[in-house]
Amino acid sequence: MFILHIGNKNYSSWSMRPWVAMTAFGIPFEERQHWLDTPEFAAQVSPLSPVAKVPVLEDGDLRIWDSLAIGEYLAERFPELALWPQDVAERALARCLCASMHSGFGALREHMVMNIEADLPGRGWNTAVQRDIDQILRMWQGALQTSGGPFLFGEFGLVDAFYAPVCMRFLTYRPTLPDWAWRYVQEVAAHPAVARWTTQARAEGVFLPADEPYRAQGAPASESPAASPIA
């Protein structure tokens, strides 16, 4: 039995990716949750990973501490599940999209942190964030036009699990997106594995000050600010 170590479901975007993929593809695992920003976190996670971060996948004595590496490992262990597209060219492009998510979009990560239970339309926007959004939309559009949807390469796959936290950010902060992009966001949000994660995230009721700047300023997480110059 695999053991998947994760953080708070409301905030931990990297934990969400392998959890959603494994749930979506019916790969059995035991979930162990470690609360972020607590004194216990480092003590619990440091023995599992040299970087002391989640997610970590345990398979017997093997511990894999990177979300993309976890995805690749699962794809190799379960080739019959087609976590990646079957077509070699599509598979290469799907890997490009995942690698871009894995290494980029720093402005989006910083200013629109994943916060599933919050409703913060217009918050976090700036021109650097918009550049990240524009790049994501270009990648999404190319994949969806080629595949015909509803997911990036037709059927739900590892690449959609990787972009599920981005969809959560868009639902929380609601930047202006074209209709086709909102349709994709809603398809991802409605997927049973994603919906299960988000339901559990909203039920946690654990709030981290570092990820709740608006709550810390005295504004409730559901407050709608004045319109921002979202383009």
Residues 87-146: tens digit of each pLDDT: 999 999 999 999 999 899 999 999 999 999 999 999 999 999 999 999 999 999 999 999
What is the CATH architecture assignment of 88-216? Up-down Bundle (1.20)
What CA–CA distance (Å, rounded) separates 164 from 19? 11
For residues 117 and 10, the answer to whether their CB atoms sit within 8 Å is: yes
Q: Model's pTM, two decimal places?
A: 0.91
What are the boundaries of each domain within the chain? 2-81, 88-216
Instruction: Output the average pLDDT for the chain.
Output: 92
In this predicted structure, the answer to whether residue 231 has a pLDDT above a threshold of 70 is no
User: Locate tokens 């990036």: which residue?
Assistant: 152
Token output for 161: 């699990």
For residues 165 and 16, the answer to whether their CB atoms sit within 8 Å is: yes
Higher pLDDT, 228 or 95: 95
How far is residue 33 from each of residues 4, 7, 168, 204, measured CA to CA in Å? 8, 6, 20, 12
pLDDT tens digits, one per residue of 42-80: 999 999 999 999 999 999 999 999 999 999 999 999 999
- In the three-class reduction of DSSP (H, G, I as helix; E, B as strand; rest coil), residue 29 is classed as strand
Q: 2-81 has which CATH code?
A: 3.40.30.10
